[in-house]
Structure 1
Amino acid sequence: MSNSELKTKWLKNYCTAPDQLDRMGEVKGLISAFNANVDAVIKVRGKDIEKLVESNGLDTNLILSEKEKAISKNEDAIRGILHCFKGGIAEEWLIEEVDVFYWLNKQVGYDKLQMGGQGGIVANAMAVCGVQNVYVHCASAPKEQAQLFLDLPNLLTTDEKGELQQASLVDRTNDNALIHWIIEFEKGDSLTIGNETCICPKANRFIATYDPLNFKLYIDDNFSKRMMKEDINPQYIILSGYQMLSETLADGTNGVERIDLSKSLIAEWRKSCADSLLHLEVASTQDKLVRKYLIESLVQDVDSIGFNERELIDILEVIGEEELAEECNQETNASNLFKGMLKVYEYTKCTRMQLHMYGLYVTLQQKDFKISPLQNRNGMQLASMVAAAKAGTGAINSKDVLMWAKGNEVSDRGLNELYGLSNTVRDIFGENDFLSTGIFSNEVIELIAVPTILIEKPVSLVGMGDTISSVSLVAAV
């Protein structure tokens, strides 16, 4: 079958997307936890940084020094910008002193604020897709954070008294905003600090993060207690934010203990809805001990996990599959990544896992999982449609935008990945009709793959993976 014929076939498959979107409105309750924060985005020029240094009388020797990648003084923030500017690289440094946070807020400011953190991004996506009640956890919820939630009555969090309220209207005035400054710079710009002048070789960004709560997986007690009430009845619980933990936290506590605490709380939340489906969005977890503990402890309690290519490779590295991880790293294609998924499935016994890669989404699940292969495919197709709308318009803030890409054909990139995956499935399991249906099953597993709609010049790709995973799962109703 030619690519043209396959595109026609998949265009027909995708016709279910509007109905799947409507059916998301039948989902009564969903909890999105744990991390929501404020992304403060600003584009700077070298001249702006030079003026900032001069007007504040900053010590250029400190800025030019080689110290650890952390921010405890005002000069450290500029040092981080300079480091990334002259290398054309992206890094994230943590702000350790609240006074620096206040200084950045006053002196640097921002061009725009946007929702940050998987938990916040997922909550907005689920609410605009019509889930009846979306409960979002906020470690901190001052006005700066609340205003980034969509103005929707079905999107809820707890106020200072522990009462549920529309998230966009909450203002916990005693909370500090948890801000991730995203400081962007352009290729070819120049910056002079002291006697050193550098030219930026590549457009990139430096992230200065003040987020002491999410970095220790702080769980708001009011929210946790409210989620234990029987009227919440969450059909889905989507977890994220664990990637920010480290083996030893800044206050000396243990990151693993925070994971254990969350497990006990989630178990209480699920008592009101024993059949609730628990999903973990893995995200990029840098601390290997935390990453391994997540895979060996938390994953055994969840029904589903989601990851991208890099995150799958990271998992392979901590389950004894370093050679396959390197193979996937060298040749990052659907065939190799599927082999990696099989290893993770065998190791974790997790009943459902989804890979979202460029051009193709792949779900591997246990035979007779509660979501059928066809339901999965329909959910994944809607996710592709919503992701294309997000990429093409820059935001999915209203329901009328969600079908923006309706009628678009799937990408050649996606079909090429599907070809390779179909051949690998044939080599391992036998003949299949993967190219036209995206579904294969045997007596043990079910495999679903969907080639996606790609937008040539995307306006925004922020939070794309979180949107894909959550819509794929919740739309499979």
Structure 2
Amino acid sequence: MNARLLDEARDLSIYTAYNTNVDAIVYLNGGIVQRLVDEFGADAVKKRIDEYPREIDEPLDFVARLVHALKTGKPMAVPLVNENLHTWFDDHFDYDVERMGGQAGIIANLLASLDFKRVIVYTPHLTGRQAGLFLDRPNLLFPVVDGGRLAFRHPREAYRENDPIKVNRIFEFRAGMTFKLGSETITVPFSGRFIVSSRFESIRIYTEPALRPFLPEIGEEVDGAILSGYQGIKLRYSDGKDANHYLKMAKEDIMLLKRRKDVKVHLEFASIQNRALRKKVIYNLFPMVDSVGMDESEIAYVLNALGYPKLSERIFTYNRIEDSVLGGKIILDEMNLEILQIHTIYYLMYITLKDNPLTEEELRKSLEVGTTLAAARASLGEVKSPQDYRVGMNVPFNERGEYVKLRFEEAKRRTREYKVVITPTRLVKKPVSTVGLGDTISAGAFTSYLALLRERGAL
């Protein structure tokens, strides 16, 4: 049944925007780290570790925070704020892997691999290096304005070399790796990763002015839209623009997409550390869309921003299904959503109103498509064809599945005016990769939801 539902979803056309980046991965060894320590000197590195820079503005900041991460064996992410350091990193490291990053890019490649009818991807910044990470598939297209008209080209034919680029550099390390810091020999206690995430003013979330008038036409071309990347908006910019400016544009973009056709829009939410910005994104954008996807920690963040600190704290502390159900109902009602999708390591959940045209069984099948696709991605590293879905179907549901169902039935007794459905996740014991699993779940669930709505004549 699940495979048939995915086949039906593959007949859809989807628009996805805005965030893409390059994930550049380095598999560290003791020699690479030793070379960095020797270049700057052990004393300088120790001094900067004591200062503990919160962001990377010069190379020594990077080396100090990397060494600190290796000493503790803890995964860490530190923002890179100096755009000029692109050259320093590229000169100092040979990247073992370069892959697509960013929710919009990951989802576009996934849906193109699954042979969806048409996948239109948009990002305001598209260099050749970024464009080269999009799959070479005829169903993957990028919107451009050509001679005053809307046209579609493959991203590799639409790039602009002078655009800024967002590169997240991921340094993977393994337990047991050793190097010297002066007279001290450091042995890395645990495996993990150190992420240098680009946070540049030049990377913005918006639709280019020339393309914006054509958004209603793009909306007519597709059955659904998946929008993401709003976590990249800054509260203020040095040119005088601020978050309010970009969120106003984001709202207008959604209205333009829906102008000629009430296209279903899904917003994939990601954690926003700054509470003021998080609140702005929630209040400005959630009421504009039909569907939102998030994990359980993000439910807690959203509830806190909506003025429910005690419930938020309960979710953070105890992670009980009944609290997530209650929190989800609050978000659905206060933001006037059609459907809320929650993904966690052990279960996926939909919360929608009782008058949703789909039955609970249909909603559950939609969630199963999401977790099966994610299991395929975790097993293989990436999904390269519709046949890979079968790999996910062979992954069993996690061992906590029965417990999850039991707890859910208890929580569900208080949800008469809602449809609330849950499915355990298919959990891969030793995943090849965990990157993009949440995006894969959301894309699979949302597109299969659209396919079921179309089957019912409700799309």
TM-score by length of 2: 0.89
Q: What is the letter of the counterpart of residue 335 of structure 1?
A: E
Question: Contact 1:217–1:244 (CA<8 Å) still a contact in 2?
Answer: yes
Q: 1:343 aligns with which of 326, 330, 337?
A: 330
Q: 1:208 aligns with which of 185, 196, 202?
A: 196
> After alignment, is 258-267 or 80-89 more displaced?
80-89
Counterpart of 2:196 in 1: which secondary structure? Answer: strand
**Unpaired runs of at least 5, structure 1:** 1-15, 430-441
- 1:187 deviates by 2.2
| Residue-by-residue CA offset, 1:47-100 (whole Å, 9 max, x unaligned) | 312213435789546644515312221212212212322232233223222321
Q: 1:164 aligns with which of 141, 148, 152?
A: 152
Aligned to 2:289: 302
2:360 aligned with 1:376: no
Aligned to 2:457: none
Question: Contact 1:391–1:461 (CA<8 Å) still a contact in 2?
Answer: yes
Q: Matched residues in 1 for 2:182 and 2:124: separation?
A: 40
Q: What is the letter of the counterpart of residue 121 of structure 1?
A: I
Percent of aligned pairs with the same residue? Answer: 26
2:241 aligned with 1:253: yes
Question: Contact 2:226–2:267 (CA<8 Å) still a contact in 1?
Answer: yes
| Residue-by-residue CA offset, 1:254-313 (whole Å, 9 max, x unaligned) | 22321111111221122232x211111111111111111222221111111111111111
| Residue-by-residue CA offset, 1:183-241 (whole Å, 9 max, x unaligned) | 11122333434466543332222211235268532434455444343685222111111
2:264 aligned with 1:291: no
Aligned to 2:455: none
Question: Contact 2:16–2:226 (CA<8 Å) still a contact in 1?
Answer: yes
Q: Matched residues in 2 for 1:79 and 1:178: separation?
A: 22
Counterpart of 1:219 in 2: which secondary structure? Answer: coil
Aligned to 1:21: 6
CA 1:80 to 1:351, structure 2 compared with 1: closer, same or farther past 3 Å?
same
Q: Where do 1:38-437 residues align within 5 Å? A: 38-55=22-39, 60=45, 63-158=48-143, 163-194=151-182, 197-212=185-200, 216-229=204-217, 232-249=220-237, 251-273=239-261, 275-426=262-413, 428-429=414-415
Q: Matched residues in 2 for 1:419 and 1:250: separation?
A: 53
> After alignment, is 93-102 or 303-312 more displaced?
93-102
| Residue-by-residue CA offset, 1:100-133 (whole Å, 9 max, x unaligned) | 1111012123110111111111112222233222
Count of aligned pairs: 446
Question: Contact 1:230–1:272 (CA<8 Å) still a contact in 2?
Answer: no
Question: Contact 1:341–1:364 (CA<8 Å) still a contact in 2?
Answer: yes
2:443 aligned with 1:470: yes
> After alignment, is 192-201 or 315-324 more displaced?
192-201
**Unpaired runs of at least 5, structure 2:** 452-459
Counterpart of 2:217 in 1: which secondary structure? Answer: coil
Q: Matched residues in 1 for 2:259 and 2:359: separation?
A: 25
Q: What is the letter of the counterpart of residue 85 of structure 1?
A: L
CA 1:330 to 1:153, structure 2 compared with 1: closer, same or farther past 3 Å?
same
CA RMSD of aligned residues (A): 2.5
